[in-house]
Every structure is written in structure tokens, then in C-alpha cells.
Chain A
Amino acid sequence: MSVKSVLIVGVGGQGTLLASKLLGSVLVSCGFDVKVSEVHGMSQRGGSVVTYVRYGEEVASPIIDLGEADVILSFEKLEAARYLPYLKKGGVIVTNTQQIDPMPVITGAADYPSNIVSDIEAMGVRVVTCDALEIAKKAGSVKAVNVVLLGVLARNLDIEREVWLTAVEENVPPKFRELNLNAFNMAYDG
């Protein structure tokens, strides 16, 4: 198979790093060569963050550039719009419908664009939406947003549920295991 690229984008603090780590271990247990590239440090402080996950028979570069992502998994609507140019023709966007205002919107220097999802759809792009915050709250913690979104992504990738559940079990602390497994299943079952 050719190399597949999943771009994970969001706002620093939303848990995109754990999501990419989980996805990475799922793909490794499926027998793929995998490269994951993360951003640490300054950009994590509430800034726009991006993580690259690439898998296939043999992966050379760990990063994803413009027009190369098969899937964009977005933790926040505006970030889906920001990284749209990274989507490959025919690619899919999976996005949380949560809105988190960036500083220029908070200070009134800029407006948060309205109708982001429908505008992207109008360009002929397939967009899968999910109110991940709501599902995470139902599962028991707003911090489970990342696992909820992985559940939605999982529905759109051809990998068995059990593999995902094992990865969740192995990558979250024991006291949050039940909560995260629930959050994943709620999202996966739609």
C-alpha cells in the first residue's frame, strides 16, 4: 500500500499528543511502518498545534506537507479550516464542532469565521463532524475529547475496534482507563 497520512490538529492543551501516540501504537500493532512527528514546548501554550502520523510499508519523512493528508483529525473547527490546505484531493476531515476563540478573537482584533464546516463542504470536501466535548462530558470528563475523536476516526479507518481498545488501555493511567474506554466506545458506536 502507499503511505497514508493523518494530520492531527488542535489547540495546545487539548490532548492531541496523546491522540497521536495512541494512533501510532494502533498502527504499529497492525504491522505498519509508522512515523509520528510532534510539536513540544512553546507552541503547546494554547497555540495552534499539529501532529503528523504516517504509516505504510516504509515511511521516509515524518512530516506531512500541503496537499498530502488523507485524513485531517481536527480537535477544533477553526483549526480544520487553517489546515485545510494540507488535505489531499479526495481526503476526509474529521472535526470536533467545539469552538475555542484564539487571542485575536478574544481581544476583538479579528472575528471567528462563521459556517466553517458548511463552507468546507461546499468545496466538495467530505467532513465528518462530532460534538466531542458533549460526548466527553457524558463519558465523565472533558479531558476525554481526544479519545472521543479517535473513536470517530476509528469508524473511518479499516482497523478493528479491539486493537484501538488495547491501545487506549496501554496508554492511559489505570484510574482513567474505564472513562476513556467508555468515551471511545460511545464515539465509535456513534
Chain B
Amino acid sequence: MKKLLLGNEAVARGLYEAGVTVVSSYPGTPSTEITENAATYEEIYAEWSPNEKVSAEVAIGASIGGARSFCAMKHVGLNVAADPIYTASYTGVGAGFVIGVADDPGMHSSQNEQDSRNHAIGAKLPMLEPSDSEECRTYTKLAYELSEQFDTPVILRLTTRVAHSRSLTELEERAVPALKEYKKNPAKNVMLPGYARGKHVIVEKRTLDLISYAETSGINRVEMNSTEIGVITSGISYCYAKEALGDKASYLKLGMVNPLPAKLIEDFAKSVKKVYVIEELDPVIEKHCKSLGVELTGKDLFPICGEYSQTTVRNLVLGEQTESKSLDVNIPIRPPAMCCGCTHRGVFYTLKKLKLTVSGDIGCYTLGASAPLGAMDWCVCMGASVSALHGFNKARGEAAEKSSVAVIGDSTFMHSGITSLVDIAYNKSNSVTLILDNSITGMTGHQQNPTTGKTLKGDPAAAVSLEKLCAAVGIGRVEVVDPYDLGELERVIRQELSADEPSVIICRRPCALLKYVKHSPPLAINDKCKKCKACMNIGCPAISVHDGNVEIDSTQCVGCGVCKQLCKFGAIE
């Protein structure tokens, strides 16, 4: 029976069916559900690693150890994991090793729009790209066959619309290959220059073999319809092209996007009158086709930025315009906001009140950059808040040290903030780091991490003590405050900014959305309200003004009491 599975669920199903036994990942939208679903299979060992580099290395070790292994990450996570993966390309595998990476065209939940196919080219690794959930499952299984056949890690590339779309998927039985015998083999697995030089030659030969495979295997397939238009495409773009053009075009659907075939493309191009290459983000297929001398229309017509849709294809290829109507009123935007009771809200309110420069990081708290809090000066990548603050302070000296802080979440600190804090301690800047410890990985939807005391599968685990860790790397001043207590929070931040040594302030309270967190009764405005709207400055979604009166929505309020501390008239109770 077919099941309606999310692309990510279908990848997890593919892992199960392929007999994978070790999965290690760091959560990242839109890849997170692969690992969450893999963890539901008893037969699979699945873990959240502290970051993507660690997760890839765990999977590499498992592969050397003879078990089929997997790690998942979002596109920017692949940058973090690039170091081991580029060299695992040289060592090859023991048992099959597959890396799942999910790109985010349109940046639904990401800080950049990079195209992971560039990493596949750089690392010289085969990359498969499914178009729907059934292909997510079958390509995952195929990836293991290719990994073992060609002695190479394989990258499975998804994009948001494949990862987060549901479509009908077949289910097959699990087949577990026996654990492969482990034999010490330094020439294969120890990448000293002497060995690596030989391996590079093998990698180049492997790429030629993979191109031969790409020419003839069914993974790249031609669908002939009208010969007026020929579309070369892959992944979700294939779905958009099919929807828009149907039988009006013929298709070369590329299931393997690295390395790309030559003859298959040349033959297809010759069989149609006009060739379009339709691919989101970078012109990867287009450049390859042009290098073969194929005349085509690609990024001269289609944008590099953002997502496509069937309308994009219909408009640009057929020149058809869409009919649609809109209301002639100003519709206010509805950007994401911190939740009611969010433990970060009071922190950003206080940082804004103190007019501090704030070095930001990746997580729910990046929303502290939005109005009305607006308390973030920059945000680059995971862990950068701590090290960038250090650099900022080294550049600008004491005045900056007394007026700037870094903010980083507990999970992000574990991911890549620790080494940055080591840098602060080691190289002596009087930087103040706020660890916003809400005892969970929030933005990706509540995943456990090394500070929470639980594993991915929910078993008890050693919990990292942030206090002891900070002390151990050489931070002499570590304070812990409740971020709901605005008075204490402000006092401690002022105190630590005036200190002449590095310090860490741990703002600790579990995320208000966690099931075990008990909420207080909702608050309400009483008749003492002077309508000064001071309570509106925290940007709580539960507080609004109607007909001049301030109201608290009792269905949303969780009684955190942060707004109450802003009211001078005792009007909130």
C-alpha cells in the first residue's frame, strides 16, 4: 500500500530499507525530519551530534567500521562538515556512506541561498537529486549501492519543496547487509600526503567511471513528447516544468546532478528544436551543457535568486500570464515573531534599553533583530556571535567592550560557540557572552542537545554543565540569571559589562513551548491602565490595542509576567 510521506520521512524510510544502522546529524531546516524519522526505527542507531562536522565524522567511522551510515544537514551545515567530507572522498568507504543535504531556495528558514551542488563538484562526489517522496526513498537506496560499487561517499540533495512536500510512496522490506569485515588499510584510510596523492588519481578515475554510469543508467532519463521544446532539468524544477508544459515539451530529467553525462545531453539537445535548462539557484547544469557546445536558454531567462514554480516556467517559456486579483487595501506583513512567553523576549528588551551593540547568532533569538525589539547588530552563521564580538572588541577597544555583548543559544553554543569562547579566554578580550539557555534546540522544533540530558531517542544522557564548561575554558566570571526577571537581568548585564575580564551570563529558563513547562494563568489589563503602551515595547503577540484600549489575548497569554514588570501603574495582573 502506498503512503503519503514527507520527502524527509521517505528518505528515512529509504535508510531503513537500505539496512542503514548508524545515523548521526545536527538539526537544520529543512533536513531535520530525516533524522527524527530515522530515530523511530528501533533497528537504527540515531543521534544528534553537537554539529555537522562531528556528525559526518561519526558516519565516516561507522562506514569504515563496516556499517551503512548516514548524516543529514542543511546546506550551510555542509560547509561545517566540508572538511571531513572532502577527504572522505579520497578514502572512499567501508560500507556505504551517504550524506543528505537540504538546500533552501527562497530562504524560508536560512541565512543564505547557497547551492550544494557546488560542494559535490568541489569534493568530487556523486550527487543524486530526487523530485518527490518516492524518489527520496528509491534514490536513498540507490545511493548506498553506488557508494559501495564506486567506493565513494554519495550526497543526496534535497530542496525545501522536496523535503517538506508529501507525496505517495511505496514501502518495501528492510534488507540488512552483513557488517563488513574491518581490515586495517592505511593506504586507503590514512590520508598522509604519500597515500593521498595516489588516492587523488583514483578519485579522478572514479569520476570518469561515474560519468559512464550517468550516460546509460536509468537515473537520468529522457521523456519524449513534442520536439518543439526540450527541457533539461532535475529535482523540484522537473515537477514545475511538467506541470507547466506537460506534453508540449520533452524532458531530460537528471537524477544524478554530479557528475553530469555528456553524450546523453548532446543527443537529447539534437532531438529537440529549442533547449531550456531549468534549475533553481546556480547555473550548474547550464554551464556543463554550454561546455559541451549545446545552445540553450537558461539563466539569461530564469532567475538565479529565489524559488521557481509552475508559473515561473509558464510565464518564461510560454509567455502566458497568470490571472489573479488582489484586495485594494494595505495588508500589513506578518513576519515571524517570538512566541508568547518566549524566554528571549526580556533579554532583547533589556539589551535595547541599555543601547548595547549585539552580536547575534542563529536560532529563535535571531528574531530579536525584528521590530519592536530590534536589538541585534549582525548575524552571520552558527557560533559567529562569540568570535565576531571578540574581533569587534579587538578592533574598537575598551569603549566597545563596555557596550557590546554576544547572544547565543545553548544548542548553538554546543555546535560551534565553545571554540570561540576559548578564543576570548585565551586572547583576553573583556567580552560579555550571553548564553540564552532554553534547554532545547528551539527553532528547528525542539531537538535534544548535549546540554539537555537526553538523547535523540529520549534516553537519559550526560548533560554538559555550561557553568563548568565556561569555567574550564578559562572564564572567571560566570553568572546565571532568570530571563523572566528583568530587574536582575539588567543588574547582572551592567555588572558584567563593567568588569575588566571576560564573562558569561547564562540566561536560563526552558522554552515556553516545552510540554513539561507549566504556564501561569493568563494576565489581564485592569482599570488602572493609563494607556501609556509601555507594555507594547516587548512585542508580545498576545498584547494589542483595540479602539485605544490595551488588551491581552487570554487564548495566547501564558502568564510569563514580563509585561507586568514594564507597567508602572499596576494595571496588569
Contacts and interface: CB of A to CB of B under 8 A. Distances in A.
Contact of B539 (A13, A67, A68, A106): A106
Interface in A110-145: 110-113, 116, 119-120, 123, 133, 142
Interface in A82-112: 82, 84-87, 89, 100-112
Q: Which of A38, A61, A66, A102 gathers the greatest number of chain B CB atoms within 10 Å?
A: A61
A160 interface: no
Interface in A69-89: 78-79, 81-82, 84-87, 89
Contacts of B168: 28, 33-34
A40 B109 contact: yes
A102 B323 CA distance: 28
Contacts of A151: none
Contacts of B369: none
B332 A102 contact: yes
A39 interface: yes
A63 interface: yes
**Which secondary structure dominates where chain B touches chain A?**
loop
Given A37-B164, A119-B329, A133-B555, A65 B239 contact: no
B517 interface: no
Nearest to A3: B243
**Which secondary structure dominates where chain A touches chain B?**
mixed
Interface residues of A, number: 61
Contact of A44 (B324, B336, B372, B539): B336
Contacts of B32: 40
B192 interface: no
A119 B327 contact: yes
A180 interface: no
Interface of B: 2, 4, 6, 29-30, 32-33, 108-109, 132, 161, 164-168, 236, 239-240, 242-243, 309-311, 322-327, 329-339, 364, 367, 370-372, 443-445, 533, 536, 539-541, 543-545, 555
Given A37-B161, A106-B539, A110-B330, 4 more contacts: A37-B166, A63-B161, A82-B334, A89-B323
B306 to A, nearest CB: 13
A35 B309 CA distance: 14
B371 A103 contact: yes
Given A62-B167, A67-B324, A103 B337 contact: yes
Q: Which of B4, B242, B338 gathers the greatest number of chain A CB atoms within 10 Å?
A: B4
B327 A84 contact: yes
B533 to A, nearest CB: 8
